Amino acid sequence: MALDFVCEYDGVPSYPKANSWNNGGDCCSWDGVMCNNVTGNIISLDLRCNCFHGALHSDSSLILPTLEIPYILNSLKRLTHLDLSYNRISGEIPRWFWGISQDTLETLDLSHNLLEGEQLFPRATPNPSTFTSYFDASHNGFTSRIPSSICQMSSLQSLYLSNNNLTGNMPPCFGNITNLWTIDLSSNNFQGPLPVPSPSTFQFNASYNGFNGEISSSICYFGLSFPALRCLIISNNNFVGWWPIEFFLNTSVATIDLSNNNFRGQIPLPSPVTNYYSIASNNIIGNIPSLICNATKLVFIDLSNNGILGRLPQCLVNFSTVLLVLNLQSNLLEGTIPQSFSSRNRLMTLDLSRNQFEGTMPRSFVKCKHLEVLNLGENQIVDMFPRWLGTLPQLKVLILRSNNLMGLLNIRRGSHLFPRLRILDLSNNNFSGPLPANLFMNLKGMMNCENEQEKSLYMTQFFRMTLYENSIIVTMKGLKIELVKILTIFTTIDLSHNSFQGDIPRVIGHLHSLKGLNLTHNHII
């Protein structure tokens, strides 16, 4: 096969992979081309990460619009793998494209391009290959509906359609694709009822869409009917209904994310093997059952923004040695915070804010050596300033605002407390006396963040590959602002609405990285 390729387009050099493609050479030796050892036929093209750009015009090229080989891929009748991902291919997919190697094409990857239009799945012949087991069109700009022709892809095992503008309902036959193992429909504009996958589904992500309806009409298809299911993510939709409390108990679902819907009822217990569990921002009510502590593999628990009430089970703070995040903010929880935090815990984020907790802060917090974010704001805690928290080596965010904390902020000079603290909010309490100069002198993390900024852009960087994102509310110039994915370089101190008096210590001028300082509504000269 002799092909002429333009190696540069608009001054942008192609990836060296294409530089080995020369007229008259053996195409089987080209980078990205794989041939059958017996027949010599091309069976695989890997064209990802080539900086290709332009449209896939039927009268030009799949690679550059100046190339005059319109049907070159269509002539490869035994192609099994085609990867065009991570380029800048734009425009609509020409209809002839779907006729490529219909009897052999196993994997097709169009992801991370600039493709658009309504030709993702053609409504007329040619249809997508029934032999294709892997199809990825994610991160493009497709706007079409999903036609019933997708159900003819009987060999399909992995389907990735996330981050497009796909619309409409999923076809009723969708569940008939019996080999479908991984499904990612997230970040589109799908509507209608939850599409029910096949019993062999391992991972199902339908988050960030407009799916709606009574979830109770669909859940009978899950659970024991889906023994392979390990990941269920249907967050950020418009589902209503309730989940039976014991629904997940006999499953093997490791990731459960039902957040940001309109689910109601009591807390559905996670499976004993669940590691990520979020029912945040729903209408869940009732107490937290102690049976939740049987899920000893939990790493993330997010029950925030619901109507959960009652006391915290004592076991919740020491049942796991792998738990990193416990977020219970914005509920109706009451009573005292359990005093039994274990030295074996690995908590990095503990958020109990905007509840009705009372009593004192547990001294066993000092056992949480990995703790980075502690938010107890907007409760009814009565205590003195917990200077003993300053011994926590990783603590970066301490929010205690709007409680009944009182007394002086006395810190002994040279005590080396709070060395990594970036955000300190003690506003709306009853603290008194002079502003704590010795405390400010200890805040090394606010004096120079440059070194740590180079290592990590966000606080709690460990979470960057998970579904969870830390968020806090800070007051800037009188406005409450929610910070999601807290930047390491963001530093602020809020001591407003207390009874501090006297002068502003000069040492505050040493906090060179400080971005916000609020001392209003005190008795400062």
Average pLDDT over residues 116-133: 73
> Residue 19's pLDDT is what?
63
Residue 46, classified by CB atoms within 10 Å of its CB into exposed (0-12), middle (13-18) or buried (19+), is middle
Q: How far apart are CA 12 and CA 64, in angstroms?
A: 12
Q: How far apart are CA 402 and CA 379, in angstroms?
A: 7
pLDDT tens digits along 17-28? 666 666 666 777
> Residue 68's pLDDT is what?
27
Residues 6+ away with beta carbon under 8 Å from 76 = 41, 42, 45, 100, 101
> Residue 219's pLDDT is what?
60
Q: How far apart are CA 27 and CA 34, in angstroms?
A: 9
Per-residue pLDDT for 52 more than 90?
no
Return the minimum-mean-pLDDT range out of 118-132, 182-196, 222-236: 118-132
Per-residue pLDDT for 66 more than 90?
no
Q: How far apart are CA 169 and CA 362, in angstroms?
A: 51
> Residue 3's pLDDT is what?
31
Average pLDDT over residues 330-349: 94
> Residue 194's pLDDT is what?
87
Intrachain domains 1-168 and 210-310 with the same fold: yes
Residue 316 or 89, more confident: 316
For the chain, helix (H) and strand (E) counts, in that order, are 3, 41
Per-residue pLDDT for 84 more than 90?
no
Indicate the pTM of the whole model.
0.84
Q: How far is CA 420 from CA 392, 396, 397, in A?
A: 9, 5, 9
> Residue 309's pLDDT is what?
97
Residue 448 or 218, more confident: 448
Quick one: residue 501, left, alpha or beta (phi over 0 = left, psi -120 to 50 = alpha)?
A: beta
Beta strands 471-476 and 300-302, pairing class: unpaired
Residue 332 or 480, more confident: 332
The two tokens of residue 127 are 């249809």
Nearest to 374 by CA among 249, 257, 470, 516: 470
Report helix, strand or coil for 9. Answer: strand
Residue 30 or 407, more confident: 407
Q: Where are the beta strands (DSSP E) in 210-305?
A: 210-214, 231-233, 238-242, 255-257, 262-265, 276-278, 283-286, 300-302
CB 263 within 8 A of CB 215: yes
Query: What average pLDDT is seen over the chain?
Result: 83
Average pLDDT over residues 167-188: 92
Average pLDDT over residues 87-113: 82
> Residue 216's pLDDT is what?
59
Residue 476 or 167, more confident: 167
- pLDDT tier at 176, thresholds 50, 70, 90: confident
Residue 460 or 510, more confident: 510
Q: How far is CA 464 from CA 230, 393, 459, 461, in A?
A: 21, 21, 10, 5
The two tokens of residue 177 are 């694709």
Q: How far apart are CA 82 and CA 109, in angstroms?
A: 6
Amino acid at 42: I
**What percent of the chain has a predicted confidence (pLDDT) above 90?**
51
Per-residue pLDDT for 451 more than 60?
no
Average pLDDT over residues 147-164: 91
Report helix, strand or coil for 451. Answer: helix
Q: What element of type H or E holds 16?
A: helix 16-19
> Residue 460's pLDDT is what?
60
Return the minimum-mean-pLDDT range out of 34-48, 167-181, 361-375: 34-48
The sheet with strand 53-55 has its strands ordered as 53-55, 88-91, 114-117, 141-142
Nearest to 275 by CA among 114, 467, 524, 32: 467
> Residue 221's pLDDT is what?
56
Q: How far apart are CA 266 and CA 286, in angstroms?
A: 5
Domain 313-525 is in which class? alpha beta
CB 234 within 8 A of CB 257: yes
Q: Where are the beta strands (DSSP E) in 292-392?
A: 300-302, 307-310, 325-327, 332-336, 349-351, 356-359, 373-375, 380-384
The two tokens of residue 460 are 């709690």
> Residue 503's pLDDT is what?
93
What CATH number does domain 1-168 carry, 3.80.10.10, 3.30.70.20, 3.40.50.1820, 3.30.43.10? 3.80.10.10
Where are the chain's structural domains?
A: 1-168, 210-310, 313-525
Q: What element of type H or E holds 455?
A: helix 450-455
Nearest to 92 by CA among 73, 77, 113: 113
Per-residue pLDDT for 466 more than 80?
no
Average pLDDT over residues 377-397: 96
Quick one: residue 398, left, alpha or beta (phi over 0 = left, psi -120 to 50 = alpha)?
A: beta
DSSP conformation class of 452 = H
pLDDT tens digits along 251-302? 899 999 999 999 999 999 999 999 999 999 999 999 999 999 999 999 999 9
Per-residue pLDDT for 462 more than 60?
no
pLDDT tens digits along 487-509? 667 889 999 999 999 999 999 99
- pLDDT tier at 1, thresholds 50, 70, 90: very low
Residue 179 or 48, more confident: 179
Q: How far apart are CA 474 and CA 489, in angstroms?
A: 15
Residues 6+ away with beta carbon under 8 Å from 488 = 422, 449, 452, 453, 456, 457, 458, 459
Per-residue pLDDT for 248 more than 70?
yes
pLDDT tens digits along 388-400? 999 999 999 999 9
> Residue 5's pLDDT is what?
32
**What percent of the chain has a predicted confidence (pLDDT) above 70?**
81
> Residue 165's pLDDT is what?
96
Q: Per CATH, which fold does 210-310 belong to? A: 3.80.10
Per-residue pLDDT for 215 more than 80?
no
Residue 101 or 47, more confident: 101
